[in-house]
Chains A and B, each alone.
Chain A
Amino acid sequence: MSVRTTEILVIGGGPAGLSAAIEAATLGAQVTVVDSDLKLGGQLIKQTHKFFGSKDEYAGTRGYKIADILFDDLRKNADRIEILSDCTATGYYPEDGTVTCMIGEESYFRMQPKKIVVATGAQERLIPFPGNDLPGVYGAGAVQTLMNVYGVTPGDRVLMVGAGNIGLIVSYQLLQAGVQVCGVVEFMPKVGGYWVHAAKIRRLGVPIYLQHTIVEALGERTVTGAIIENLAPDCTPGGKRTTIDCDIICMAVGLAPTCELLWQAGCDMKFIPQLCGHVALRDPSMRTSHPDIWIAGDAAGIEEASSAMVEGRIAGLGAAGACGHGTPEERKERFAHYSERLADLRAGEVGEKIRIGVSAAGVQKWEE
């Protein structure tokens, strides 16, 4: 197996990873980004809606256009950033700090970096119900990939499960793509996402079944329908059941951080419900308990692309700083700036859950 080296290895080419790479490169580091997908940009390239947040993180710009801005920044630093797409990091070997990588399906090499930023993103959650393994039960991100990246019609009639922001936004995107949405099922008595997203699909006549859950996917070989059930106010089952005629059941029931590599590296991990799963503990520079590994984005806790980009900046700064790039003053100034932006994004009532989560995952300073 061939061995390659790099100064900073960024694992994951989504908003967090690309921001980390750009930040580290502008300080003078040599960076390699590996991404398992064919296209860079992670989930950003699938987002056709305009972002909220602050001006610094391109509020008012559509997600895939934000990805274009990051790609521009990558090109400006092309002499310092090497990009490997269709390249999956498959394992971390603590004995010598090697990351094994796979190009396509059968071509492997060993990567020996000085520092690593893990920005591996998230994976889709599923909830248990009979038939949830049938073809036609798709993750919301997968439906976005089909219709927003490759322009493939996902199906004829879609039942959306989950009325958080992702469920609401993807429902609207389905309507834009000319696909019928037969309803949105939500376990809670109110929608979890922003009201503006719910209002858009309600105006177009899509029913939102609050206090409902999916109890079965129908079909022998592929999905042909679904049974949903009304829950009592105390969430006990047994209420009225409705059969929905659909060929796609789109699951928007949450994400979990992808952190296998961090477990392999022996990072201190903790289950933090507000961050949606097990995450690595981190200091303010996003460094984990492993002195050579930083984290950023959804891999550090499920949040949003805007904050993922700022976390990426912080992690890239930390990793480049640890390699001796930039002056202490410069690094301090940049760090203060990014910390302030992150705090702004997490301000107010909507940021409360995240603030609790990051505080529970935070360590002031690792012992040297």
Chain B
Amino acid sequence: MAMRLIQEHPILDFEHGKKKKVRFTFDGTEMEGFEGEPIAMALHAGGVRIYRETPEMKRPRGFFCAIGKCSSCFMVVDGVPNVRTCIIPLREGMSVETQRGRGEVRSEEERGV
């Protein structure tokens, strides 16, 4: 799916053409986005609205505050759960997955600390 981007704006110039595109996967499907921009921006531009499922009621959740404060957009990124996708930058080859439930916090060993 092509990215839904604002191409013409009376005040702003986004210079989308000058940004570096990278590829990543969302639940196994390949998508593209701009390197260094928040993961959620690439997902939203690619038409993805559902980012996680709540632990108890299994309700879909998506983007909400975009400043890393509300926890609505938590996803599993490269195996790490509860990633605030609205403020964590996109990198080439990232694996982004819908988060179901609370997610397991990785041990220090798994994190390589």
Using a CB–CB cutoff of 8 Å, the interface residues on chain A facing chain B are: 36-38, 48, 62, 86, 88, 104-106, 121, 123-124, 133-139, 141-142, 145-148, 150-154, 176-178, 221-222, 258
Q: Are A135 and B63 closer than 8 Å at their CB atoms?
A: yes
Total A-B residue contacts, Cβ distance less than 8 Å:
114
Chain B residues, Cβ within 8 Å of A139: 64-66, 70
**Smallest beta-carbon distance B111→chain A, Å:** 5
Q: Are B83 and A105 closer than 8 Å at their CB atoms?
A: yes
In the bound complex, CA of A36 to CA of B51 (Å): 20
Q: Are B6 and A151 closer than 8 Å at their CB atoms?
A: yes
Q: Are B65 and A141 closer than 8 Å at their CB atoms?
A: yes
Q: Are B49 and A222 closer than 8 Å at their CB atoms?
A: yes
Does B4 interact with chain A (Cβ within 8 Å)? yes
**Smallest beta-carbon distance A89→chain B, Å:** 11
In the bound complex, CA of A146 to CA of B37 (Å): 11
Q: Is the interface of B mostly helix, strand, loop or mixed?
A: loop
**Given contact pairs A105-B82, A106-B111, A258 touches B63 in the complex (Cβ within 8 A):** no
Determine which of B54, B65, B87, B111 lies in contact with A123 in the assembled complex, contact meaning CB atoms within 8 Å: B65
Chain B residues, Cβ within 8 Å of A105: 77, 80, 82-84, 88
Closest to A251 in B: B64
In the bound complex, CA of A137 to CA of B60 (Å): 12
Extra contacts, 10 of them, besides A142-B67, A151-B14 (Cβ < 8 A), are: A38-B38, A86-B89, A121-B67, A124-B70, A139-B65, A145-B66, A146-B44, A150-B14, A152-B3, A221-B50
- CB-CB contacts below 8 Å: B18-38 with A: 34, 36-38
**Given contact pairs A105-B88, A151-B6, A151-B12, A135 touches B41 in the complex (Cβ within 8 A):** no
Closest to A147 in B: B6
What 3 A-B pairs come out closest when comparing CB atoms?
Answer: A135-B62, A151-B14, A142-B66
Chain B residues, Cβ within 8 Å of A154: 44
In the bound complex, CA of A123 to CA of B65 (Å): 8
Q: Are A133 and B83 closer than 8 Å at their CB atoms?
A: no
Does B11 interact with chain A (Cβ within 8 Å)? yes
**Smallest beta-carbon distance A61→chain B, Å:** 12
Proximity bits, B1-16, A CB within 8 Å = 1, else 0? 0011110111110101
Chain B residues, Cβ within 8 Å of A123: 65, 67, 69-70
**Smallest beta-carbon distance B9→chain A, Å:** 6
Q: Are A133 and B59 closer than 8 Å at their CB atoms?
A: yes
Q: Are A178 and B49 closer than 8 Å at their CB atoms?
A: no
Q: Are B60 and A141 closer than 8 Å at their CB atoms?
A: no
